[in-house]
Structure 1
Amino acid sequence: MPTNIGEGGIDVGGIARIGAADVERLAQHKLKTGDIVFSRRGDVTKNALVRDFESGWLCGTGCLKVRLGRCSIASPSFVSYFLRQPEVKDWLIRHAVGATMPNLNTGILSAVPLRLPPLAVQLEIVEMLGALDERIALLRSTNATLEAIAQALFKSWFVDFDPVRTKLEGRAPEGMDETTATLFPDRLDVGDEGERPAGWSRRPIQDVVSAVYDGPHATPAEADSGPIFLGIKNLTGTGLDLDEIRHISESDWPQWTRRVTPRADDIVFSYEATLGFFALIPPDLRCCLGRRLALIRPHAVDGAAHFWFHQFTAAPFQRWLEKHTIHGATVNRIALKEFPSYPVLAPPIPLQLAFDDAVRPLWARIHKNSAQAKTLAAVRDTLLPRLISGQVRLPDAATTLNEAIA
């Protein structure tokens, strides 16, 4: 599906599955290793190179595939990189059909002009850029593992109440020191909303954080550089994707941060369209809120930002959002004015801080890895057109590559 086309590869998150009978019926749409897949409409500039383990998957109706076949002058990997150059992306947009939404067809893709250096040079370029992509993929995979660890800990402590249940059985909770274990009660109370550890309460969001801010309801002029204007497209669900960003000018910065200037450990979220998406603002990110985005600011003292972030992304609060979603004709939304009154689980502050202390190092690594991945992607995107045009010699590129990965 088009939503599974990443920048250079297939994103398997949320990928559709079909039955065996349909696979045979749609056999002519099977992908092969080295195929290059595009979206038919929308963002037509991205392409995904099919890898060995993806061979046999099906090309959805919203996608187009390029197959080089038995070609002795072109490497599929090189062609995939070539098609990701800014000038080629501009070419695709200019030649796409459709007044409101760009559309591709096989004729347009067949007409893309290619510049092919000798095959040996293509393979050297692919090896260099592939090393950067592998490093980026490793950093992102590591981040997914680190986040899963933090999510699992929150679920154990504050959704399943494992430490409380363990103490109910007369045993000491595992995986924590004695000081932390004493913060959990040894009794569960049962009320209208189900079980809850004794002494814990449910309180409105506005009572447990410093403030909730709405973003601007307009979009500033785009600039070539400057602070980042966050948009819904930058939210992934539990994080920020800053591969494609919009800048605003320094002169516009005061106006677009008049309500609030996001800072590290603030929690940004969407209240229209992509509901339930939350992200922690990482250190050193100079940004402002875009349309349909809002921000939660934890208390400056004992704010436990990571605790609240994980509560907002955990299943109980996500179910609450689904229950209070306003379904519209074009987009769904939640009433932002009511958001501060939504109830959240509020264990004692020392326990919130104990969780925050446990996962903060994980998130520090996640933020560091994300920053490094962004730097490596910038190096790759800078080298790509220069290598292909011959502006940068391969030995010089190798030096740049080694410095970036080191």
Structure 2
Amino acid sequence: MSSDFQVSPLADVCLKIGSGATPRGGKEAYRGGDFALIRSQNVYNEGFTPGGLAFINKEQADQLSNVEVMPGDVLLNITGDSVARCCSVPDNALPARVNQHVSILRADEKHLHGDYLRYFLISRKSQNLLLALASGGATRNALTKGMLESFLIQLPPFSQQKAIAHILGTLDDKIELNRRTNETLEGIAKALFKSWFVDFDPVRAKVEGRPTGLPDEISELFPDSFEESELGGIPSGWSCSSVYDLADYVNGASHSSKTLNENRLGYPVIKINELKNGFTDQTKYWDADFKDKHLVVSGDILFSWSGNPDTSIGTFVWSKQDGLLNQHIFKVVPQNSKWRSFVLSVLRSNQGSFADIARDKQTTGLGHVTVKDLKEMMCPIASVNVMSSFSALTDDIFNRCQNLILQIDVLKDLRDALLPRLISGELRVPDVEKMLEEVGI
């Protein structure tokens, strides 16, 4: 650590350290309203996640007025498997309160910059210390108020804290911009798939004598009538197929007996956590023989078929280094290589149905989607020319999405490499600013 960096317990540089509560009646008491109730599932080191955000009314919020979330507050998960996850709260999530699993850390801006606090807490060193503290509990992981108050933070001069936060924030902003661009591109592909293969908009327009809104050369590919099928009315000349018949679904294998963590030898094992968060300190590695079909490379379509129906069942495109497939994930290999975008769109468009299927079989928090389910799920198949046109329009979209994901990975690696060196004082801000300028950031 740099000699001009002070060290202080959080209690001395925070105006507030405290967690909230759940309104009486538990989650059944969420009455809706203008106040968000932030829970551990909304707090990630990568940032605030609004999915599943609960809402309470003013009466309930007034009962939790001592844990009102203010602009610039840092939120830290303090119990359970998500303990130590940390983020800053965005302004668009306010007004808000927190429940008992989340602690508010409010920096005293006389000594501590709020964004610097967040980056300090998500650094690998701090995360390891927090996890070690939390694991000392008798029953489950937990961080007490006393632990947080006595937790030591390195304090560069305030101007340096602000500069460090700005540098790391610039990288995070670019990551977020790429994510939003990705969402927009995927939304376009999703809308096109729904229009052509779910709502049959071009065919309906022709039946009703309206323009399809498509270029003439594409519009001419669609029929002007419907015919009956096992799916009901579909465009004339089209057929039906099970989702299973569109691709080979290669299931992974258990790699538990020879997994390594500290040495990181062999290939990383890809589980749902790796699909959602990339490789972390919790990733297991396999250093024994494996089947070639279980190798996953960048660009592979992966379908997580087992786990929590609402958070684990999903379709992903792999973008990281090569890894090995876990037994709860299918690698999806389209029967026709030109149909890759179509197969990916079919799987993603049925996300809600997959979640419902898994929920119907849910036991002890887990559900699953089987081969039988994939065989029973049907979808319409258009003419070769329509399928080729869809691929021509969407392949570029998905390739751009893949490139954006790869850029995000590079930016995250750069941020994660800079974070500990900036916080320790090993690397100074002017040096980093010059480096980022040279690479165009």
Q: Which residue identity does 1:36 align to in structure 2?
A: V
Aligned partner of 1:299 in structure 2 is 335
Comparing 195-204 with 105-114, greater Cα deviation is found at 195-204
| Contact 1:139–1:370 (8 Å) recurs in 2 | yes
| Contact 2:107–2:117 (8 Å) recurs in 1 | no
Aligned partner of 1:231 in structure 2 is 271
Which of residues 293, 303, 308 is equivalent to 1:269? 303
SS in 2 for 1:115: strand
| Contact 1:215–1:291 (8 Å) recurs in 2 | yes
1:45-194 aligned within 5 A: 45-69=84-108, 71-96=109-134, 97-98=136-137, 101-174=140-213, 176-190=214-228, 193-194=231-232
Comparing 152-161 with 349-358, greater Cα deviation is found at 349-358
Aligned partner of 1:344 in structure 2 is 379
Q: In 2, distance between residues paired with 1:289 and 1:378?
A: 23
1:21 CA displacement: 3.0
1:35-54 aligned within 5 A: 35-41=73-79, 42-54=81-93
SS in 2 for 1:131: helix
Comparing 100-109 with 380-389, greater Cα deviation is found at 100-109
Of Structure 1 and Structure 2, which has the larger fraction of its residues in strand? Answer: 2
Aligned partner of 2:250 in structure 1 is 213
SS in 2 for 1:89: helix
1:269 CA displacement: 0.8
| Contact 2:182–2:401 (8 Å) recurs in 1 | yes
Q: Which residue identity does 2:66 align to in structure 1?
A: Q
Aligned partner of 1:359 in structure 2 is 394
State the TM-score, normalizing by the size of structure 2: 0.81
Q: Which residue identity does 2:316 align to in structure 1?
A: A
| Contact 2:267–2:287 (8 Å) recurs in 1 | no
| Contact 2:306–2:328 (8 Å) recurs in 1 | yes
Aligned partner of 1:290 in structure 2 is 326
Deviations 1:68-108 (Å, cap 9, x if unpaired)? 34x41111111111111111111111111435642122111
Aligned partner of 2:237 in structure 1 is 199
Comparing 77-86 with 43-52, greater Cα deviation is found at 43-52
Comparing 394-403 with 148-157, greater Cα deviation is found at 394-403
Deviations 1:182-237 (Å, cap 9, x if unpaired)? 2222112345643322222222334332x21111133332353764422112345x
SS in 1 for 2:82: coil
Q: Which residue identity does 1:82 align to in structure 2?
A: F
1:121 CA displacement: 1.1
Query: Structure 2 stretches of 5 or more lacking a match?
Result: 1-38
Q: In 1, distance between residues paired with 2:211 and 2:227?
A: 20
Which of residues 57, 69, 76 is equivalent to 1:19? 57
Q: In 2, distance between residues paired with 1:52 and 1:205?
A: 42
| Contact 1:228–1:245 (8 Å) recurs in 2 | no
**Count of residue pairs the alignment pairs up:** 394
Q: Which residue identity does 1:287 align to in structure 2?
A: G
Which of residues 429, 434, 441 is equivalent to 1:394? 429
Assess, with a 3 A threshold, how the Cα gap between structure 1 residues 345 and 260 changes in structure 2: closer, same or farther.
farther
SS in 2 for 1:402: helix
| Contact 1:228–1:287 (8 Å) recurs in 2 | yes
Q: In 1, distance between residues paired with 2:63 and 2:83?
A: 27
> Percentage identity across aligned positions?
26
Deviations 1:50-85 (Å, cap 9, x if unpaired)? 24444431112321111234x411111111111111
1:369 CA displacement: 1.2
1:340 CA displacement: 4.3
| Contact 1:78–1:126 (8 Å) recurs in 2 | yes
State the TM-score, normalizing by the size of structure 1: 0.88
1:297 CA displacement: 0.6
| Contact 1:8–1:49 (8 Å) recurs in 2 | no
SS in 1 for 2:62: helix
